[in-house]
Amino acid sequence: MIKDFEKFIPKITSLDFIQAVDKAVTVMQDERRFGYIVGGKITGGFMELQIPENLVIIGDLHGDFTSFFEILQNIDFEYFLGNPNNKIIFLGDYVDRGTNSIRILYMLCILKYKYPNSVILMRGNHESPAEFPFCSHNLPIDIMNLFGAETGKLIYNKKILPFFKLLLLVTLIKGRLIIVHGGLPVNLSEPMISDFKQIFAASAENYLRDTVMEEILWNDPRENIGNNLYWENSKRGFGKYFGINISKKWLKTCGAKVIVRGHEPCQGFRIDHSGAIMTLFSCKEGYPSYESAYIRISSDKLRNIHNAIDLSQNVVKL
For 127-166, how does the pLDDT look when each residue is reduced to its tens digit (9 = 90+)?
999 889 888 899 999 999 999 999 999 999 999 999 999 9
For 43, the domain range is 5-317
- The CATH number of the domain holding residue 91 is 3.60.21.10
| Of residues 252, 251, 195, the one with CA closest to residue 260 | 251
Q: Is it the case that residue 206 has pLDDT exceeding 80? A: no
3-state SS, residue 315: strand
Provide the percentage of residues in the chain whose pLDDT is more than 90.
75
- pLDDT value for 92: 95
Specify the range with the lowest mean pLDDT, choosing from 84-98, 179-193, 195-209, 249-263: 195-209
Q: Per the structure, how many domains does the chain have?
A: 1
Beta-bridged to residue 57, according to DSSP, are 89, 295
Q: What is the CA radius of gyration of the chain?
A: 18
pTM for the whole thing?
0.93
CA–CA gap between residue 152 and residue 260 (Å, rounded): 34
| Of residues 205, 231, 206, the one with CA closest to residue 218 | 231
Beta-bridged to residue 60, according to DSSP, are 281
